Structure 1
Amino acid sequence: MAACEVDSSPKALVYRGPAACSGCAESVADLLKSSGSKFVVDFAGPNEKIDITTESLQGIDLFAQPGGGDLAPAWEATKKYKDVIRNYVAEGGRYAGFCVGAYLAGPDQGFDLLPSGSSVAREVDQPGSQVPDERDTVIQVDWTFQTGSEKGQKQDGRWVYFQDGAVVKLAADAPGVVLGTYSSNGNVASSVTPFEKGWVGLVGPHPEADQSWYDLVNVTNPDGIKFDIGHDFVDSIMAQPANK
């Protein structure tokens, strides 16, 4: 008899709904599938076959909240999930927040998943920001790879798609890992921090953006379209040890 093959790939749920922009959930799903972790992905949301519930998150290795529009309407659309998502991460789950998904991890109008004293703000409002407004463009980050063949390497000035992205304002004593900083001012562009038994990964820019994003707004990435930063982001979340 042939041995039965067991699919050991991690499973992810990606939010898809009114808090996410058109195509954003699909781009996050593609990034997760093509990462070193090789996720099996389903979409979840108020208009999907799967909604975000305690039951649907059971056995899920990662929940991803993609980018979207402004924070206020995104929060209005997702606040009903706050307790479910907080409990999921607290019990050992992992959260990946992209742009608005990063804002939604904050303590105000968000799921409150950050270390005590930490918050999320608009990078465009910060002193020395490379991008001073809300236009779709690219921004430079200094990225330290935590996984894969580039593990341990720091690459400065990498260009990433950006549209009014978040800065993570970590408290001075906050545990976790800073993956990327904005090149112009050193603000935290991406981090992975613990929340009780789980982990929370946030990224302000859009490392999941594919060529269609750039074509839509007539923007060029000087580095070309690469997904190594995005892959390292999601794989770094998964690489963190289980919290007790």
Structure 2
Amino acid sequence: MRAGRGAAALMLAAVVLAASACGASPSQGAGGGSGAARADQAAPAGGAGPDPQGRPVALVYRGPAACEGCPEAAHDLLEHDGYAVRYIGPQEQVRFGPDALSGVALYVQPGGTNGQEVSTAWRLLQRDPGFSPELVRAYVRGGGHYLGLCMGGYLAGREPGYGLLPGDSGQYISSGGATVTDEQDHLVDVSWRGRPQRMYFQDGPYFDVDGPGADVLARYTNDRAAAVVAGYGAGRVAVSGPHPEAPAEWYRDYELSDESRTGLALGEDLLHTLMGTAPKP
């Protein structure tokens, strides 16, 4: 869970040995945002099952490798775009296993806890008895879709990570010319499809990608890629360093100008580019 303002100074004093990423607003309690207040659709443990209304099913990871509020923020972005959203994780109705991702349109790896190292998040994922990196890789390689937000973007890279990108992820605040250089919550300037935008940001990654299959949607002001869609086998991967899914309360709690409407539009653009679908009318 993201530290409150009183704890922020203590967190800054901590020695961070590797990139940390992404958390929720301190106003969010256990389970976080508005998505937490709604019960997940019934599904058997170990499998999502089809949606009774025929909507595409998205699985959002919720467990110790994600922060409180981050899965719920992703839930709301996806639900707004017409997905039937379910959570997957060690305490959820849907759990990792051989058939967990069968028939699923999209798997989402959300933001992680503030101060959590990428290697720690990776270890926590692998402690889930049904989880394996190859489960996710095989799902995408076979035609599935992966959305990685902040920590999920880091984990799309290599060592530690799924290795889904045609390149790797890195820590933006440590890159040359970065406009944000600490792990606190900020607005970050990006150029999204050539247009200047400001987005919610907390120690997110940049992406070193190359090859004809990599579509860079956004860049930070130092020209590092901030949002990318790329192919992996027969599937597709989308990653973002900033948080397009950030709700208004995240901005309010950190006394930032509210860019949540802009973020929602950018998140939808990222989703539609990933899925190859047209925006809603």
Q: TM-score range by the shorter chain?
A: 0.7 to 0.9
Asked whether 1:167 is paired with 2:211, we answer: no
1:39 alignment partner AA: Y
3-state DSSP of counterpart to 2:250: helix
Which of 107, 132, 155 matches 1:81? 132
Residue 143 of structure 2 contacts residue 235 of structure 2 at CA under 8 Å; is this kept in 1? yes
The separation in 1 between residues aligned to 2:64 and 2:172, in whole angstroms, is 23
Query: Aligned partners of 1:50, 1:181: CA distance in 2, in Å?
Result: 35
1:151 is matched with none
Report the identity percentage: 36
2:171 is equivalent to residue 122 of structure 1: yes
1:186 offset after TM fit, Å? 1.3
Partner of 1:23: 69
Distance 1:210 1:129 in 2: 24
Runs of 4+ aligned residues of structure 1 deviating over 3 Å after TM superposition are none
**Per-residue Cα deviation, 1:35-88 (whole angstroms, up to 9, x for no partner):** 2xx111000001111112231210000000000132122111123430110111
Question: Which runs of 5 or more structure 1 residues have no equivalent in the other structure?
Answer: 1-5, 145-153
Cα distance in 2 between the residues matched to 1:106 and 1:8: 33
Aligned match of 1:13: 59
Question: Is 1:133 matched with 2:173?
Answer: no
What is the TM-score of this pair, normalised by structure 2? Answer: 0.74
State the partner residue of 2:154.
103
SS in 2 for 1:30: helix
Q: Structure 2: how far apart are the matches of 1:103 and 1:196?
A: 20
Other-structure match for 1:179 = 217
How far apart are 1:217 and its partner, in Å? 2.3
Indicate conservation of the 8 Å contact 1:54/1:88, yes or no: no
Contact 1:9–1:39 under 8 Å retained in 2: yes
Q: What is the TM-score with the length of structure 1 in the denominator?
A: 0.85
In structure 2, how many angstroms separate the alpha carbons of the residues matched to 1:162 and 1:177?
21
SS of the residue aligned with 2:132?
helix
Taking the aligned partners of 1:174 and 1:134, their CA distance within structure 2 comes to: 33
Match runs of 1:21-100 below 5 Å: 21-35=67-81, 38-69=82-113, 70=116, 71-79=118-126, 80-100=131-151
Inter-partner Cα distance in structure 1 for 2:179 and 2:55:
38
**Offset at 1:174?**
4.9
Equivalent residue for 1:3?
none
Q: How many residues align?
A: 218
How far residue 130 of structure 1 moved from its aligned partner, in angstroms, is 1.0
Q: Which runs of 5+ in 2 are unaligned?
A: 1-51
Q: What is the SS of the residue equivalent to 1:190?
A: strand
Q: 1:178 & 1:199 partners in 2: Cα distance?
A: 13
The DSSP-based 3-state class of the residue aligned with 1:159 is: strand
CA contact (8 A) 2:244 2:260 kept: no
Give, in whole Å, the separation in 2 of the partners of 1:72 and 1:27.
Answer: 23
- RMSD of equivalent CA atoms: 1.5
2:199 partner amino acid: V
- Distance in 2 of aligned mates of 1:209 and 1:225: 9
Equivalent AA in structure 1 for residue 222 of structure 2:
N
Shift of 1:224: 5.8
Aligned to 2:252, which of 212, 215, 222?
A: 215
Give the 3-state SS of the residue equivalent to 1:135 in structure 2.
Answer: coil
AA aligned to 1:63 is: Y
Q: Deviations over 1:119-141 (max 9, x none)?
A: 10000011111101111111011
